Chains A and B, each alone.
Chain A
């Protein structure tokens, strides 16, 4: 579709851009400055309304560089929900009081826009633009938004060094892919792959591209930045980064590998079985994430390692790369959005009210705030994957795909063993909260917005474990590139 007629299908993104501009401009007007968060939230809500109007559309926009399809549509909802609650909660995060919040909101909205671009990119240029410029660059700044906080500074430094490096590797891989196949668009690359004469060069190019994508989803061995960035960033940003860019990373990984490889027989490229490689990486990623998480005392850092493990679980289905596998990853991402962000909101609550960072500080938290403590138990159950919780349903779909493919039985066994390991450290949090009496038994009350956000994210984390048909119906409609 030509540039001009594409605009009609690009309205949600355009509104998001307008919102970003409005937030920046309003920041300059003294009397209106304090309303910027309302504008940001309203912008996201109206983007959601426009997005809803786009449901069912499947078009290739801007001369085939961007797709507006059900697949992207589904992921855009995840980004909007994550962005909305991050902006909402950030206002009530005590650690962010020194930060320039209008600037922060604008940057966050730019990241959301970039994530939209990432989920719908069908061309190497848009992949690169979405992933690097519009997602990564503002994320580096957001991680270091607390300028005088050494940890925040360290987080942004490590993020920018690793991020720029892996994006450099990825774009070098892109250049070879372009040279070998003669095309920038994913469909063109797919057609060009058949005629590639130098398998070794292709092998290298795909590995480099995998490095770039693997960095975004924090796949071992490209995960080194994850724990430090997650620990050092302001907690709302950590929650956002652990869900939204990861979902976008999986979206682009699935779109890329599915549209480029499945029609050509994947196993023949350069004599390397790519699916087995991804299966191995998946096993290593989840085992590594879980084993290191066991030793963590800092709750935020523990959740960072656990998010590496969750990426490993999702990679498990990617090693099958069938429509069913893509569906399973999307189910898991939905569940993961609720349970993981809920857990990070709980961390914000603990930091706000008690300045609690380590498990030691969390001791007795359940008795001081019984209701939120109970919600945290549900979230931890969900993250572990115990029935009846959303996490259980997510894992069920992932394991079902792996077992049904009859290819990687061992991977399913590794996955189950890993879930058992994760039970141990998630329940260390529960144990700290409930089995110790607090030093100071005075009850603590959460800020109402944060308490409500925890509740709003815990309800789906439990409810989707009991009744998940609507989500499956939505996802069934969303598998179409």
Chain B
């Protein structure tokens, strides 16, 4: 577990799981969890590249912190919108919001 490749493999597994979650889940909160997984995959990549890629500066790790903060902000906004969906439709199934089509 001390080389770049294992981290990249884990991050790509995380990314694929996140992608799968976003594509298949219809529960709004579960879709958000899929998106978090994608963001964490990116996060892991940044930190791993920074640690093993021979980068002089810590910018990859700083980006990681930014992603954590942004993921939290994004989740807050998205959850507020999903709560509003629940108030209007009494479900968190994102397919229930289907008034506009075509």
Q: Which residues of A contact B (CB under 8 A)?
A: 124-125, 128-129, 132-133, 137, 140-141, 144, 147-148, 150-151, 153-158, 160-161, 164-165, 167-169, 171-172, 174-176, 178-179, 182, 184, 227-228, 231-232, 292, 295-296, 301
List 19 A-B pairs, Cβ < 8 Å. A125-B62, A128-B63, A128-B67, A140-B78, A147-B87, A153-B85, A154-B85, A156-B84, A157-B81, A164-B32, A168-B18, A172-B38, A172-B45, A175-B43, A175-B63, A178-B45, A179-B48, A184-B59, A295-B102
Given contacts A125-B62, A156-B81, A165-B22, contact A175 B45 (CB under 8 A): yes
**Cβ–Cβ < 8 Å partners of B85 in chain A:** 153-154, 157
Bound-state CA distance A137–B88 (Å) is 21
B43 to chain A, nearest CB (A): 8
Given A148-B88, A156-B81, CB of A165 within 8 Å of CB of B45: no
Q: Is the CB of B77 within 8 A of A178?
A: no
- The 8 A CB mask of B16-49 against A (1 = contact, 0 = none) is 0010001000001001100100110111011011
Flag if A178 contacts B84 (CB, 8 Å). Answer: no
Contact of B100 among A148, A171, A228 (CB under 8 A): A228
Whether A153 lies near B84 (C-beta < 8 A) is yes
Contact B15 A157 (CB under 8 A): no
Chain A interface, >50% SS class = helix
Residues of A within 8 A of B74 (CB): 132, 137, 160, 164, 167
Say yes or no: B77 contacts A231, CB within 8 Å.
Answer: no
Q: Which residues of B contact A295 (CB under 8 A)?
A: 102
Q: How far is the CA of A150 from the CA of B97 in the complex (A)?
A: 8
Are A153 and B55 in contact (CB-based, < 8 A)? no
Q: Which residues of A contact B102 (CB under 8 A)?
A: 227, 292, 295-296, 301
- Give the chain A neighbours of B54 by CB distance below 8 A: 182
| B94 near A161: Cβ-Cβ < 8 Å | yes
Known: A154-B97, A157-B82, A172-B38. 7 other contacts (CB 8 A): A124-B63, A133-B73, A154-B85, A154-B99, A160-B78, A175-B43, A232-B99
Give complex CA distance A228, B84 in Å.
17
Nearest 5 Cβ contacts at the A-B interface: A175-B45, A179-B49, A168-B38, A154-B97, A172-B42
Report the Cα distance A231→B97, complex, angstroms. Answer: 13
Nearest CB in chain A to that of B8: its residue: A179
Contacts of A154 in B (CB 8 A): 85, 97-100
Q: Complex Cα distance A165/B21, Å?
A: 11
Interface string of B64-93 (1 = CB under 8 A from A): 001100100110011011101101110000
Q: Which residues of B contact A158 (CB under 8 A)?
A: 97
Contact status B53-A179, CB under 8 Å: yes
Q: Is the CB of A140 within 8 A of B35?
A: no
B38 touches A169 (CB 8 A): yes
Q: Is the beta-carbon distance between A150 and B99 smaller than 8 angstroms? A: yes
- Please tell me if the beta carbons of B45 and A151 are within 8 angstroms of each other in the complex: no
**How far is A347 from B18 in the complex, measured between Cα atoms in Å?**
39
**Contact indicator B97/A157 (Cβ below 8 Å):** yes
Chain A residue contacts of B87, Cβ below 8 A:
147
Which residue of the partner chain, among B42, B49, B81, contacts A144 with CB atoms under 8 Å?
B81
Report the Cα distance A151→B100, complex, angstroms. Answer: 7
Minimal beta-carbon separation of A159 from chain B (angstroms)? 8
Centre residue among B39, B42, B84 by max chain A CB count within 10 A = B42
Q: Once the chains bind, are A231 and B100 in contact (CB under 8 Å)?
A: yes
